[in-house]
């Protein structure tokens, strides 16, 4: 071994070391990554992510608006796990659940107060949106505990310590067995599309610039629109192939149900692909080389992965993180895909999630067209 032989020159070694630091300092984006990635991860994992989400939006169906029911609702609110969004009828409740606007619907049956006073445990129906099983579990266990805490002081004479005061019937809608891959497999579709679409288009354009072939392209009569769309379409097809692969695997390997329309799903996928491609193209018109395009993709991909509700329940995050999450197309795409596949959402129920994606795409497109360098200046 002569690696550390007498010929090792310390000053030469210092020279190499210094050169590396100088180059790192010049490469702003890499430098930004060195500093930015740890901070981003720290903040996201430390503050934003919470596997035991609280303040979950809950609708109440009140068939017997008596004092006990009302104090139970108040107790739910106080537990911090539930945020009561209002009292609705059964049909509205179902609609809210399907749209994903509430996580729970709690139904107080007729005669709730009467049964309670008589010592006959009334049935409290809790319907949970279990497309993301992790989000529902903690809150359901809290409901069980609440009964005794709320009613015991008011019903001293009737208390039978060994028996429960109410009978809690929890329905995990859309995913009765609480299978996590019902949630993860459709989610993966969005994650994979985000990564490949943004990255591949980002590279496609910067590759031309890096190799100098872009100049040749610009010297031809081709217009920016022709260049941009001509470069985008192949990746749309690639994205559709990826989705088909995942759907086939979801069906045959994981038995994930497909309750909604396949056509609608592909429509939504197409929209999502376009949004990501627009971003990729925009990255590529800013990035000076392929490495930078890659770095920008990571900067976008990380929050998408962590703040979209893919890895951790969306409603478990603080307000500010949810706001960032709401900007990301993946957040809305996840709700759309789960809605269509697991809940059977129809075309009438998707608009709430479609417009934010359209808005994102429009904003990025406007910015991209502005920065796309038609000419080299």
Partner 1 sequence: MSVAQSAPLVIDVTGINKHFGEKHVVKDLSLQVREGEIFGFLGPNGSGKTTSIRMLCGLLTPDSGHGTCLGLDVLRESTAIKRQVGYMTQKFSLWDDLTIAENLDFVARMFGMKNRRDVVDQALEELGLTTRRNQLAGTLSGGWKQRLALASCLLHHPKLLLLDEPTAGVDPKARRDFWEEIHRLSAAGITVLVSTHYMDEAERCHRLAYIAYGTLLALGTAEEVVASQGLHTREISGSGLLGLGESLRQLPGVDLVASFGATLHVSGKEEARLEASLQAVLQGTALKMAVVPASLEDAFIYLMQGSQDQFQG
Q: How far is the CB of 252 from partner 1 (least distance, A)?
A: 36
CB of 328 to partner 1, least distance (A): 34
Q: Which residue lies nearer to partner 1 by CB, 163 or 219?
A: 219
Sequence-distant (≥ 6) Cβ neighbours of residue 50 within 8 angstroms: 312, 313, 316, 317, 318
Question: If DSSP codes are grouped into helix, strand and coil, which group holds residue 84?
Answer: strand
Residue placing its CB nearer to partner 1 in the complex, 28 or 259:
28
Contacting partner 1 within 222-261 (CB under 8 A):
222-223
Instruction: Kindly state whether residue 221 participates in binding partner 1, applying the rule CB under 8 A.
Output: yes
Task: Kindly give the interhelix angle for 180-211 and 329-338, rounded to the nearest 10 degrees.
Answer: 140
- The smaller minimum CB distance to partner 1, of residues 80 and 215, is found at 215
Contact call for residue 23 and partner 1 (CB under 8 A): no
167-173 and 123-129: which strand pairing?
A: parallel
x-or-dash pattern for partner 1, window 77-116, by CB under 8 A? ----------------------------------------
The smaller minimum CB distance to partner 1, of residues 177 and 377, is found at: 377
370 binds partner 1 (CB under 8 A): no
Residue 59 CA, distance from chain mean position = 22
Residue 220 near partner 1 by CB under 8 A: yes
> Sheet holding 123-129: strands in order across?
82-87, 56-62, 104-108, 123-129, 167-173
Neighbours of 70 (CB within 10 A): 14
State the minimum distance, in angstroms, from the CB of residue 206 to partner 1.
15
Taking the least distance from each CB to partner 1, the nearer of 5 and 220 is 220
Minimum separation from the CB atom of position 174 to partner 1 (A): 47
Contact pattern for partner 1 over residues 199 through 218, marking x by CB under 8 A? ------------xxxxxxxx
Binding residues for partner 1, how many (CB under 8 A)?
16
Task: Assess contact for 307 and 324: CB atoms under 8 A.
Answer: yes
**In which element (H, E) is residue 62 found?**
strand 56-62
Report, in Å, the least distance between residue 28 CB and partner 1.
17
- Separation between Cα atoms, residue 361 and residue 356, nearest integer Å: 9
How many beta carbons lie within 10 A of that of residue 272, not counting itself? Answer: 27
Task: State the virtual CA torsion across 355, 360, 363, 368 in degrees, nearest 10.
Answer: -140
Nearer to partner 1, 159 or 289 (CB): 289
| Residues forming the site for partner 1 (CB under 8 A) | 211-223, 375-377
């Amino acid at each position: 071994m002569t690696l550390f032989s007498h010929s090792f020159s310390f000053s030469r070694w210092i020279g190499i070391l210094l050169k590396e630091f100088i180059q790192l300092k010049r490469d702003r984006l890499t430098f930004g990554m060195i500093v930015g990635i740890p901070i981003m991860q720290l903040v996201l994992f430390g503050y934003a992510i919470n596997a035991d989400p609280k303040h979950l939006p809950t609708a109440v169906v009140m068939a017997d608006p008596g004092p006990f029911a009302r104090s139970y609702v108040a107790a739910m609110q106080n537990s911090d796990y539930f945020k009561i969004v209002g009292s609705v009828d059964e049909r509205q409740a179902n609609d809210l659940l399907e749209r994903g606007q509430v996580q729970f619907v709690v139904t107080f049956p007729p005669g709730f107060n009467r049964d309670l006073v008589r010592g006959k445990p009334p049935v409290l129906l809790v319907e949970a949106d279990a497309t993301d099983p992790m989000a529902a579990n903690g809150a359901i266990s809290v409901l069980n505990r609440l009964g005794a805490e709320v009613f015991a002081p008011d019903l001293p004479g009737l208390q039978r310590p060994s028996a429960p005061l109410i009978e809690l019937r929890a329905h995990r809608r859309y995913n009765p067995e609480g299978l996590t891959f019902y949630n993860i497999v459709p989610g993966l579709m969005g994650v994979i599309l985000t990564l490949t679409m943004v990255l591949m288009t980002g590279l496609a354009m910067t590759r031309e610039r890096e190799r100098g072939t872009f100049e040749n392209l610009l010297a031809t009569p081709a217009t920016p629109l022709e260049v941009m769309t001509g470069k985008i379409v192949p990746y749309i097809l690639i994205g559709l192939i990826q989705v088909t692969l995942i759907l086939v695997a979801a069906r045959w390997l994981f038995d994930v149900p497909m309750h909604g329309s396949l056509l609608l799903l592909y429509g939504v996928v197409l929209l999502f692909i376009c949004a990501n491609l627009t971003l990729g193209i925009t990255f590529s018109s800013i990035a000076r080389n392929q490495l930078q395009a890659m770095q920008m993709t990571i900067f976008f991909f990380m929050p998408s992965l962590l703040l979209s509700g893919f890895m951790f329940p969306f409603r478990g995050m603080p307000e500010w993180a949810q706001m960032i999450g709401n900007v990301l197309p993946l957040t809305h795409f996840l709700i759309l895909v789960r809605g269509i596949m697991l809940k059977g959402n129809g075309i009438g129920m998707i608009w709430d999630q479609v417009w934010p994606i359209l808005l994102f795409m429009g904003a990025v497109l406007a910015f991209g067209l502005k920065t796309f360098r038609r000419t080299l200046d």
